[in-house]
Structure 1
C-alpha cells in the first residue's frame, strides 16, 4: 500500500513538474496593447515634445524608470539617472543593468539603447499644433527597448550582462550617449557590442524587416540573419548616402570602444514624410508592425546575448 502510494505521489510530482516546465517554456508574447500604451504616453501632448531639461522630460524619465523597477532591473549607477555633464540644463540618461547568469560571460556587457528625447515645441503653431511629439523619432525606439526590458525581466535568460540605456539629448548632437560612453570607458567597462533602436514605428517595405546602420563595418547583420534563420536585416541606400551610422547613439560607443555598434531602424527616411515634423504623432504609427518587429527581434537578441563566444566582430 505504501509502495503504491509512493509511486502515485512520484507520478503526480512528475506530472506537476512537467506542467510547470511546459508553462515556463511557453514562447514569450509581445502584447500590442503594451507597445501601444508605452508609445502613446511617450508621444503624448502631455510631454510637450520631450525637450531635455524640462519638467515634461522628467516625466518621461520617471516613466522609463518605472519600467526598469517593475522588471527588477537595477540601477547601474547610484540611481537610474545618469546626469549629463555636457548639456546646459539638467538632463538624464536612464540606465539599468541586468547581471548575466553565466559566471564568465556575465563579465561582458551588451548595451541596448534608444534615445527618448525629441525637439520640444514649435515657435509657431501650424493648424493649432505646436508640439513636436516625436512618435517615430524616437518614442518607438524607446518603446522597443522597453519591451526588451519586459522580456528579460520575465525570462532572466541572459548569460551576458545587459545595460539598458535610454539616452537624453540625442537631438542636440548625441550628447547623452557621448557622455555615457566616455564615462564607461574611463571606468574600464567591458563591452561586447552596442545595439541601438531608432525609428521603428512604420514598416520598411521591401524584402527586409529592418536596416542596420554601418552595414559593412561588422558582421552583425549577417549574424542576426543567421540567428533568425532568414534574411531580416539589410542595408539601406538612404542610410549610406547620409552616413546615418554617425547620426545616432551607436556612434559614440563605436568611437570610444571600437566594438560593433549599430542602429536598427524600420523607417525608410526618404519616403517617411514626418521626420522632425509636427505630424510625427502616435496616430501615424503602426503598432501592429512594431509588435511583430519586436517579437522577431527577441530571439535574435537572445542568441547574441547568450552566444558561447564573441560571434559579432568588426570587419577588417
Structure 2
C-alpha cells in the first residue's frame, strides 16, 4: 500500500510540475481582419500626411493616429508622463555650401582642393564653425576586429592626427559582421586619439556607386538626436572634422607617401591586405554649418503579461512610422513620397497584431509595441529608444522588427534577418510553419540587411532580434516573388509611386500579420527567454549580462 501511495504521489507531483512548466494562458480566437489593415494603410499613406517626414506636421498626424489606436485598444501608455508619446529632440545640420575649404600641405608646397569636385563633407553637428589642421596617416580600412585577429592601427601613431581610410572592409569577412565593423570606423579612430577622419573614394567603389551620385545629396541636412546635455548622440569630442576625397584629390594627398595610391588601390581591388603608413603630408579643413532643432515622437504602448514571474519581461515589436516626405525633383507632378510599403505596411501590421493580441487575452510575458521616428535619417528614433528605454533594457527578451513588408504578391516563404544569430530563428520557423509558410535563408547576404533597420539598435543593447520580410517565393503559379520584390525596390522604393496605387495584396497582409502574432505567442509563452547562439558575433559582442 505504501508503494502504491508513493507512486500516486509521485505521479501527482510530476503532473503538477509539468503543468507549471508548460503553463499557457487561455487565448480567445480573434481573427485578423484585412479591412482593418487596409484602413490603417490607406490613412498612413494618404497625401494628407505629406510623406511623414521626421519632424513634419504630417508625421505628427500619423503619430497621433497610432497613439489613438493604442488607446482604443486599451493598451497601457509607455511613453513619457503617462502618455503614449516619447518626444525625441533632433538637431538638423546644414552645411554652408560656400564655406568648405581643404588644403593639402607637403614639403613640395600647398594644394587647395575644389569643393565639391575634389571632396565633399557634411555639416559639423557639434559646432557651427570648424577648422582643423593636422598630419595625415593612412590606416588601411581603419578597422580593429579582435574576432578576426585584425588591426589596421597596429604600429601606427595617430594621436592628434587625421586618419585616412579606404571605403569598405576585407572582402573575406562575413557580410553582416563586416558591415557592422565598417560602421565603427570613427569610433576606432577616436579611441586612438585621432582628431579627424577622411575617407577615400576608390576605383572599386566607383563601379558600385560613382562619386558624382554623392553630389545629389550635398544640400541634404544631417540629423542626430540630442542627449540630456545638449550633445548630438554618436559623436566623439576629439573628432573635429571629416571629408570624403575623390580619386584625383587622394592622388595629391599620397604624392610623397612611401607607397603609391595606385598600389593601394590595386591591393584593394584584388582583395589583398592593405597596410597603413604615414603620408608625409598634412591636411587643413574648414567649414561652417547652420543648426536647427526639431522634435518628433516615438509612440510606445504595453500589453501587460499575466505570469507573476514573466510579466516584467517584454517581447518588443518595432516599426518605423516616418518616411522621406517630399521628393526634391521639382519636375515631378506628384512630389509626395507616401511610403505605402515603406513603412505604412509595417505599422499597419503592427497595429492589427496589437489588436488581436489584446482581444485574444494576455500572454505570460508583456508585449511592448514601439513605433519609431527617424529611421530614414539613420535609425535615429530606435537608437534614442534603445538608449533611453521606458522599460528596463535587460527585461526586453526579443525584438521583432517590421520594416517594408512588400505586400504585392502571394508570398510562400518569409525571411527573418538575424534568424541565424539566436534562438529566435526556430521560433519564427515554428510560427510560420503553422501557416504552411517556409523560413528561407537570407537571399541577399551581400547587402548585410541585418544591420540596416531599427532592430539593429536593440541588437547593440544585447536583445536577440529578427527583421521580418516577405520571401521571394510565390504561391501563385507563374509568379516570381523575387522579381516582384526587385521591381518594387528598383522602381518604387523612396519614390512617389510607393503609393496606394500599387496592387496591394491584403490577403498577404493578413497572412503576414498572423505569422507575426504566432511569433509573439511563441516567445511570450515560452518558459525560457530567447538566447544568442554560441557562435554569433553579435551575441558575443553585445549579449546582455546579469539577466
Distance 1:104 1:187, change over 3 A: closer
Aligned counterpart, 2:58: 56
Which residue number in structure 2 is paired with residue 9 of structure 1? none
How far 1:290 sits from its partner (Å)? 0.6
Is 1:289 equivalent to 2:514 in the alignment?
A: no
**Partner of residue 216, structure 1:** 420
The yes-or-no answer on 1:270 pairing with 2:270 is no
In the alignment, structure 1 residue 198 sits paired with structure 2 residue 403? yes
Which structure has the highest strand share of the two?
2
Task: Report the CA distance between 1:207 and its aligned residue.
Answer: 4.6
| Superposed CA offset, 1:232-262 (max 9, x none) | 3222222x21111111000000002x22112
1:102 to 307, 322, 343: 307
**TM-aligned CA deviation for residue 167 of structure 1:** 0.5
- Computed over aligned residues only, the root mean square deviation of the Cα atoms, in angstroms, reads 2.2
1:61-112 CA distances to partner (integer Å, 9 max, x unpaired)?
0100011001111111321111114064111100111211100011211111
2:333 equivalent in structure 1: 128
Q: Distance in 1 between matches of 2:401 and 2:375?
A: 12
Deviation at 1:292, TM superposition (A): 2.0
Q: Deviations over 1:179-224 (max 9, x none)?
A: 000112995541101111011242566751x211123212322222
Distance 2:524 2:331 in 1: 45
Which moved further from structure 2: 220-229 or 191-200? 220-229
* 8 Å Cα contact 1:203-1:266 kept in structure 2: no
Say if 1:67 and 1:149, in contact at 8 Å, map to a contact too. no
Separation in structure 1 between the aligned mates of residue 377 and residue 58 of structure 2, nearest angstrom: 17
Residue among 294, 302, 305 paired with 2:521: 302
Residues 216 and 315 of structure 1 are in contact (CA less than 8 Å); yes or no, is this contact kept in structure 2?
no
Counterpart of 2:497 in structure 1 is 279
What's the offset of the Cα at 1:226? 2.2
Larger Rg: 2
CA deviation after TM superposition for structure 1 residue 231, in Å: 5.0
Number of the residue aligned with 2:87: 83
* TM-score computed with the length of structure 1 as normaliser: 0.85
Counterpart Cα distance in 1 of 2:534 and 2:390: 22
Of the three residues 68, 74, 81, the one matched with 1:66 is 68
Partners of 2:391 and 2:78 lie apart in 1 by 15
Cα deviations across residues 252-308 of structure 1 (Å, max 9, x unaligned)? 00002x221121012755342311111101231222211122123323321221112
Q: Does 2:165 correspond to 1:161?
A: no
1:46 and 1:74 map into 2 onto residues whose CA distance is 28
Matched, 1:237 2:239: no
- Give me the whole-angstrom Cα distance separating, in 1, the residues matched to 2:520 and 2:381: 23
- The equivalent of 1:39 in structure 2 is 41
Structure 1 regions of 5+ residues with no counterpart?
1-23
Give 1:31 shift.
1.1
Relative to structure 2, which stretch is displaced further, 295-304 or 67-76? 295-304
Aligned partners of 2:454, 2:377: CA distance in 1, in Å? 12
Change in 2 beyond 3 A, CA 1:179/1:311: closer
Distance, in Å, in 1 between the alignment partners of 2:390 and 2:298 is 16
The count of aligned residue pairs is 290
Task: Report SS of the residue matched to 2:376.
Answer: coil
CA contact (8 A) 1:194 1:250 kept: yes
Tell me the CA shift for residue 309 of structure 1. Answer: 1.6
